[in-house]
Amino acid sequence: MTTMSPNALCFGDEFPAAGAPCLVQVEEHGLTITFASDPADGQPESVPYSSLAVSAGGLDHDQLVVKWAGEKGERTLYLKNPDVIRAFRETVPSHLSLPFAQAAEQVRQVRHRRRLVWSLAGGMILSTVLGLWFGSDILVEIAVSRIPVEWEQKLGESAYRDFLSHQEVMKEGPAVAALGEMTQRMTAQILDNPYKFEVTVVKSDVVNAFALPGGYVVVFTGLMKKAESGEEVAGVLSHELNHVLQRHGLERIVKSLGIMTVAAIVFGNQQGLVGMMKQLGVELFTLKFGREQETEADLKGLQLLQRAKIDPAGMITFFERLSEKDEGRMEWLSTHPMNAARADRLKAELAALPKKSPEPFTFDWKQVQVSLGSQPVVAP
Amino acid sequence: MKSEILYPGAFPMVRVELEAGENIKAESGAMVACSPTIDIESKMEGGFLGALSRKFLTGEKFFFQTLRATRGPGEALLAPTVPGEIVILELDGVNDYMVQKDGFLAGAEGIVIENKMQGLSRGLLGGEGFFILNISGKGMLVLNSFGAIHKIELKPNQEYIVDNSHLVAWSSTTSYNIEKATSGWVASFTSGEGFVCRFRGPGLVFIQSRNPGSFGAWIRQFIPVSE
Ligand SMILES: [Zn+2]
């Protein structure tokens, strides 16, 4: 046998798992397959078209997969050589032409999508290069400022709904009412608020709260049980609301994915979109904000509390207490590392703000906590 | 071109013998020693943008080196940065491999290295970043792993689930989906980890017996942190 250059891989029980390289020739009656590793007397194998089944397969569904029941068991051929695929298309008989057309269409779509993705990638590279020159933060800010709020809501909402569908949501009761009141007091003080904040109480001992882009906020009952006053919870809530208002989530997403990718997610094909959004949702939950973003959310949060006439001291005492204790499941700390500097910065900021006499909430915090099933914490 | 793995195990090297005029592409920094007949050229595979994109998007080093036996036959010794095994594959023009960014050590002249963009969700969750190396062509391909390298052979439609941070390389005839390892959302958003790839055959999947990320985290606990 002279040296041949294989153009396909054949899989089957007697072949190695990596596949046997082979030469596929398209003929009138069917395919002729010659194996590279055949002994000299090995006969090329001929398979009539009538016994073939075709589909698309491989890592990106961009290979033509041809299957048939051979004498020694099932055989699977993976083809990606465009010449062979073209020859196959030209000679394929009618019973195969429909599945072939479907497989070919799938391959074509993948190639098309890949081109699109590559142009997006080009955009990302370009923005990376530009970012090096102009300071990437400025670029990110410009990009983020151009993203409409509706996109942000689309990104956040599906992740939020999906998250809640796996959780025990508290629909009513003193805790829900209390958070409603806090949210109401604060959002009334936000000028030109483009977000419709949605705050949900989730029953869980996790000491955590988070905000997704678009104004979707979750507070766990564990955090409410740990707080000694409504003002303390309001402090965390104000901090989270300001992550949304300052579009911190979006900044992180754009920074890591590039604006073009965000556009692709929002305008992407509808089929892939749902799954992609779900998976992106996971990314949204693991999102860690930068130190500057945390500081910004702290300071703006403090100012918002002040405007809403909620005693900002609660925010500071809660932060201080969180940083002292490390018993229990303090998840908020894993995304919000506390240190003395953080509370001190807030104290300094508070001292600089004009004094305002706070107005208490209408609810009794101890009763809210009792409704959550915890013994009221005795203030030191 | 002949090659041989020296000191197989945790600290191996590859010896590559080159005929006069032959060359080999190696990860920059992989060259340990070579005959005086061999010249080292730093070349940007895939042009400037290709190299730049590799640098920024896969974290790969900017250059590959080309070791060329310009002045007659000679040999070169190559070694990876991390402790771990080396495996040599022979590509015959039809079997392509996807290689995770740190898995490539060297490749013969006929080997083609391309950056390949993964699907968005794969890139986001797969942990290998958006770009992986798509290696095709003909000739020798040398991969390295962190820890031991293990080959999984998959028959058509046979499935296997692999923790994504243990992936080294896989054939392009396989397909995979990213799945969450844990059933609870809370676990995945607090730990930020736990994704696995469900591979479907036919083809080969090479995995490494140690997870570089976890190892890094383990090391970090011994490093004093300054605020
Ligand atoms: Zn925060």
Residues of A in contact with B90 (CB under 8 A): none
CATH architecture of the domain with residue range B2-218: 4-Layer Sandwich (3.60)
Q: Are strands A45-48 and B31-34 parallel, antiparallel or unpaired?
A: unpaired
Question: Mean pLDDT, to the nearest integer, of A187-210?
Answer: 89
Using CB atoms and an 8 Å cut-off, which of residues 1-40 of chain B contact chain A?
Answer: none
Q: How far is the CA of A98 from the centre of ligand 1 (A)?
A: 55
Contact B173 A117 (CB under 8 A): no
Contact A125 B56 (CB under 8 A): yes
Contact A208 B190 (CB under 8 A): yes
Higher pLDDT, A288 or A296: A296
Mutate which: B49, B115, B120, B151, vs A, most A CBs within 10 A: B120
Residue B77 to residue B3: CA distance in whole angstroms: 10
Residue A187 to residue A241: CA distance in whole angstroms: 9
pLDDT tens string B147-206: 999 999 999 999 998 887 788 999 999 988 777 665 443 333 333 445 678 899 899 999
| Largest Cα span, chain B | 62
| Max avg pLDDT among A101-115, B41-55, B202-216 | B202-216
Q: Is 80 exceeded by the pLDDT of residue B41?
A: no
Contact A285 B188 (CB under 8 A): yes
Q: State how far Cα A295 lies from the chain centre.
A: 24
Residue B221 to residue B62: CA distance in whole angstroms: 30
Q: H or E element: which one contains B210?
A: none
User: Is A117:B117 a contact under the CB 8 Å cutoff?
Assistant: yes
Collect all residues with Cβ–Cβ distance below 8 Å to A171 and sequence separation of at least 6.
Answer: none
Residue B87 to residue A155: CA distance in whole angstroms: 43
Mutate which: A266, A282, A323, vs B, most B CBs within 10 A: A282
H runs (alpha helix) in A202-310: 221-226, 230-245, 248-257, 259-267, 270-286, 291-307
Collect all residues with Cβ–Cβ distance below 8 Å to A91 and sequence separation of at least 6.
Answer: A26, A27, A28
What pLDDT is attached to residue A123? 62
CB-closest option in A17, A63, A280 to B124: A280
When the candidates are 3.40.50, 3.30.9, 2.60.40, 2.30.29, the CATH number that belongs to A8-109 is 2.30.29
Question: Mean pLDDT, to the nearest integer, of A304-329?
Answer: 81
Residue A101 to residue B197: CA distance in whole angstroms: 30
Contact A58 B130 (CB under 8 A): no
What pLDDT is attached to residue A258? 55
Residues of A in contact with B155 (CB under 8 A): 11, 13, 17
Q: How far is the CA of A209 from the centre of ligand 1 (A)?
A: 9
What pLDDT is attached to residue A292? 83
pTM: 0.55
Q: What are phi and psi of B71, to 5 degrees?
A: -105, 40
CB-closest option in B124, B172, B190 to A279: B124
Q: How far is the CA of A365 from the centre of ligand 1 (A)?
A: 24
Taking alpha carbons only, the member of A260, A251, A263, A252 closest to residue A118 is A260
pLDDT band at A380 (very low <50, low <70, confident <90, very high): very low
Contact A57 B184 (CB under 8 A): no
What are the b/e assignments for A248-258, b being 16+ CB within 10 Å? bbbbbbbbebb
Dihedral, CA atoms, B14, B19, B24, B28, nearest 10 degrees?
A: 60
What pLDDT is attached to residue A135? 47
Dihedral, CA atoms, A232, A233, A239, A242, nearest 10 degrees?
A: -130
Contact B121 A276 (CB under 8 A): yes
Going by the DSSP 8-state scheme, the letter that residue A337 receives in this structure is -
Grouping H, G, I as helix, E, B as strand and the rest as coil, residue B99 is strand
CA–CA min distance B43, chain A (Å): 20
Q: Is 90 exceeded by the pLDDT of residue A307?
A: yes
B112 Cβ under 8 Å from any chain A Cβ: no
pLDDT tens string A78-92: 988 888 888 888 887
For residue A254, which amino acid is it? Answer: V
Mutate which: A7, A33, A59, vs B, most B CBs within 10 A: A59
Q: Poorest-confidence range of A272-276, A376-380, B37-41?
A: A272-276
Residue A61 to residue B119: CA distance in whole angstroms: 12
Taking alpha carbons only, the member of B197, B194, B219 closest to residue B207 is B197
CB count within 10 Å of CB A364 equals 14
Residue A375 to residue A369: CA distance in whole angstroms: 7
Residue A337 to residue A210: CA distance in whole angstroms: 14
pLDDT band at A54 (very low <50, low <70, confident <90, very high): confident
What pLDDT is attached to residue B209? 92
pLDDT tens string B46-78: 555 454 444 444 444 445 788 999 999 999 999
What pLDDT is attached to residue A162? 74
Contact B94 A282 (CB under 8 A): no
Domain ranges of chain A: 8-109, 138-371
Residue A228 to residue A216: CA distance in whole angstroms: 24
Residue A285 to residue A283: CA distance in whole angstroms: 5
What pLDDT is attached to residue A138? 63
